[in-house]
Each structure stands twice: as structure tokens, then as C-alpha cells.
Amino acid sequence: MDVLLAVVPPVAEALRQAAQEGQTTFAITDDGMKFLGAGLAMGLGAFGPAMAIGNLVGKAMEALGRNPEAQPVIQTNMILGLAFAEAIGIYALVTAVMIGFVF
């Protein structure tokens, strides 16, 4: 949230400056929209797996701290969960690449 609040004033000033110079018209081409969509697909598609991986590893470390004897079972399940979460991120990457280069 702080980053958003830090970015808004310079962007507003840049838009105000562009309006004063008389260059108020701009157009977003189809390619521009395509690349914006690819960026959003990758950004939002990577957010979920990143949160899942962090949560999964954190909970596995808590479980290992509480019950160190269960390390093989916990580690096996954690690695399996990491692989599934990473697969979702790879699907997002493939979708972003398809949006950017195919469509």
C-alpha cells in the first residue's frame, strides 16, 4: 500500500505536465493491451503460488519444530505441495507467454 501511495503523486504530476503541454491525446494499441494483459496474467498468476509456498514452508517448519521425528513424512508432503504450487506458477507463465506472442 505504501508503494502505491508513493507512486500516485509522481504519476499525477506527469499527467498534469502532459496536459499542460497540449499532448492530451494518446492511444493504447492492441499490442499495448496484449502486453498489459500478459503482465497482469503473470503478476497475478505468480502471487497465489508465492503465498502458498511461503505458507507451506512456514507450516512445515512449525511442524518440524514441534515433532522432529516426523521429518521424513513432513518433508515428503512439503516437497509434493511445493511442486503443485510451482506448477500453478508455470501455468501462469505459459498463459502470459501465449497472450504476449500468440494472440
Q: Is residue 1 part of a domain?
A: no
Higher pLDDT among residues 20 and 38, named by residue: 38
- Based on the structure, what is the number of domains in the chain? 1
* Per-residue confidence band for 17, with pLDDT thresholds at 50, 70 and 90: confident
What amino acid is encoded at 24 in this protein?
T
Q: Is residue 68 part of a domain?
A: yes
Q: Is residue 18 part of a domain?
A: no
Which domain CATH number covers 32? 1.20.20.10
Domain that holds residue 74: 28-101
Q: Is residue 11 part of a domain?
A: no
- If you average pLDDT over residues 39-50, what whole number do you get? 90
**Closest CA relative to residue 42, chosen from 3, 98, 1:** 98
The separation between CA 100 and the C-alpha centre of its own chain, rounded to angstroms, equals 16
Higher pLDDT among residues 76 and 32, named by residue: 76
Q: Is residue 53 part of a domain?
A: yes
All three cell numbers of 63: 511442524
Q: Is residue 17 part of a domain?
A: no
* Per-residue confidence band for 25, with pLDDT thresholds at 50, 70 and 90: low
